[in-house]
Structure 1
Amino acid sequence: MPSITRRRTANVGRPTSAEAEILAATQRLLINGANFTELGVQQISTEAGVARSTFYSHFRDKIDLLMRLATELMTSSFDVTSAWDPSDGVERLADAFLQVVKVYRKHAAVRRALAEVATYDATVRDFLSAELNQFTDWTIAVLRAEQDAGRTRADLDPVSATRMIVMGGERALVDHVTAGDPGSDAAFARELALTWWYGVYRRPADYSK
């Protein structure tokens, strides 16, 4: 399996001014409809107002740049999601999902570029898989803790349930921000929360009847 760290940028802290300009310029180009594969380093550098050599002093290549952009999307989404606790209830979960929808809308062009490049670049596929794994690991741990506390059915399979709600939820988010009406974001987030809550966390004791 290709390493997902091979082309990751070493400096993952606050970007320098030039880094920030390059990241912002790339996102602008993507939002304006540019195809990431067809974007050239010179085009990105020109948009950012920096020299081509400056680009390569901060990013190994375009894939490194894309993963830096994607990290903000995935990290922000995970921070919002993992801040929720089942004791907060379903309405707070709906609020959390609404915040995630907003993050996905902000970074929709980047997510589209990820899907585009993942079709032919194994590094990006592995990167995206690894980022989603943190959601999977967190959800499994929460479900098992809820089972131990007797608040989630003991016969629920945390691993299988998590695969469905994490992978299915991410696909639904992408589809919604791509084709859905922004005016329905709150309704979408609430339905997603209710699906998680009643389908997994608080599955009714008589659900099989």
Structure 2
Amino acid sequence: MPSITRRTPSPARKASADAEILAATRRLLTDGATFTELGIQHISAEAGVARSTFYAHFKDKTALLMRLVDTFVDTSFGVASSWEPEEGPDGLAATFLQVVAAYREHTAVLQAVAEVAAYDATVREFWNQVLGRFTDRAIETLRREQEAGRTPASVDVTSATRVIVIGGERAIFDHVLAGDPDEDEVFARELARIWWYGAYRRPQ
């Protein structure tokens, strides 16, 4: 009698299905689908996997969306956290230009996050935690600059950070959605100057 023991999928096969589901969802979003209207069956069919395979990899669509965002977060946070004040506003502008490029690459996914966060508390909290990583990094840098005497002690670090991080994130997103890619360099330079001469209070 033949064995009916189910084989556990190999790590390579599991990773492949994972990648296919993520890539399929990105394609559908890039093609104009809204995340809310995408069904599990639609995503599975696009990925070429069974519906049961989807659930073997992702608890639900919310878990899928957060996985989609992970690549963007790792890239943009790595870029943003690599800048040090010693590089000045020109270095900061170059950093922002890379962040804008990451936003452009992941625009469809970020639109999905904005869409779902409007009604899903889990996704909203997840995105707040993402911004929290950038906020914590900026606070750490600003405090270090204050302690070194390069940023005035009168700067309220927490308030200043909220303005430049949350305001800056919204500005980048808006620019990517509505702005001309040819203006990315100009936008990045102006954003850098706002941070440098505003929150960091560096003299002209």
TM-score normalized by the length of structure 2: 0.91
Q: Which residue identity does 1:69 align to in structure 2?
A: L
The question of 1:64 aligning with 2:78 is answered no
Offset from partner CA, 1:148-168 (integer Å, 9 cap, x none): 001111100100000000000
- Give the unaligned 5+ runs of structure 2: 1-13
Q: Quote the residue 1:25 is aligned against.
A: 24
Q: Which moved more, 1:26-35 or 1:73-82?
A: 73-82
Offset from partner CA, 1:22-49 (integer Å, 9 cap, x none): 1111011001000100100111011111
Q: Quote the residue 1:145 is aligned against.
A: 144
Q: Quote the residue 2:195 is aligned against.
A: 196
- CA RMSD, Structure 1 to Structure 2 (Å): 1.2
Distance 1:161 1:76 in 2: 24
Distance 1:139 1:40 in 2: 38
Runs of 4 or more consecutive aligned structure 1 residues displaced over 4 Å after TM superposition: none
Give 1:200 shift.
1.6
Number of aligned pairs? 191
Q: Quote the residue 1:83 is aligned against.
A: 82
Give 1:51 shift.
1.1
Q: Quote the residue 1:54 is aligned against.
A: 53
Q: Quote the residue 1:107 is aligned against.
A: 106
Q: Quote the residue 1:179 is aligned against.
A: 178
- DSSP-derived class of the 2:33 partner: coil
Q: Quote the residue 2:166 is aligned against.
A: 167
Distance 1:71 1:193 in 2: 25
Larger radius of gyration: 2
Q: Quote the residue 1:98 is aligned against.
A: 97
Give 1:180 shift.
0.5
Q: Which residue identity does 1:154 align to in structure 2?
A: A
- Give the unaligned 5+ runs of structure 1: 1-14
Give 1:73 shift.
1.5
Q: Which residue identity does 2:91 align to in structure 1?
A: R
Q: Quote the residue 1:8 is aligned against.
A: none
Distance 1:195 1:52 in 2: 48
Q: Is the 8 A contact 2:92 2:192 kept in 1?
A: yes
